[in-house]
Amino acid sequence: MAATDLINADALNSTIEFLTAMVTPALLISATGSLVLSTSTRLGRVIDRVRSLEDRLSDLIYVDDKSEVPLYDKRVEVIVDLLDKVTSRSRILQRAMGAFYYGLMFFVLTSVTIAIAAVFNTYRWIPIPIGIIGIMFIFYGSVLMLLETRMATATVNAEMDFTWELARKVAPMDVASKYTRKGKIKGMGLAKIDTKSGRKIPDTLGGE
């Protein structure tokens, strides 16, 4: 009776070990699926952004009297620069999504090889390198996403800088003079101090 209990305990431990090994790739598969979904959403927004910039550029190109458009040359330059940035972002996102899909494929393959190794009780080491390859693809995709995030920040900053420059040009002086270059109301931020005299430096329209 004791021997039978021991055999049953060994079988139970083996089953628990097998199920535990199968759960780990499943968690990685779920996490990778979330990364694929978020990357796909960001890619869709970037594509919409490219189309919007193309429409804005087309509208500027076919303007009859370009002199009536404030900062016309600057507008065209900024739009072309933004198009370059968002195009680069879309390509990076496509590469990141490809990396995540490769990682997803290797994690699924890891689960399959774990099942095969458990059934035939041989080549139990095979799932390890396959899982490592999948993790490396996820790492590569994450690095690409970090790069794309930094480019997205640069894109937003470039557009906001131009918007502020345009606002300073077309807004009435009594309105524009209330704000610094960063868009904050004067007097609401920290005052600059002259390190020699200890006096406050008066704010200017340009924020310089």
User: pLDDT tens across 173-188, in order?
Assistant: 766 666 665 555 444 4
User: pLDDT tens across 106-154, in order?
Assistant: 998 988 888 787 777 777 788 889 889 999 999 999 999 999 999 888 8
* Tally of CB atoms within 10 A around 193: 11
Q: Residue 48: in which H helix or E strand, if any?
A: helix 2-61
**Distance between CA 17 and CA 148 in Å, rounded?**
40
Q: 192 has which bridge partners?
A: 201
pTM: 0.69
> Are residues 145 and 53 in contact, defined by beta-carbon separation less than 8 angstroms?
no
Q: 179 has which bridge partners?
A: 185
Instruction: State in Å, rounded, how far the first CA of the chain is from the last one.
Output: 89
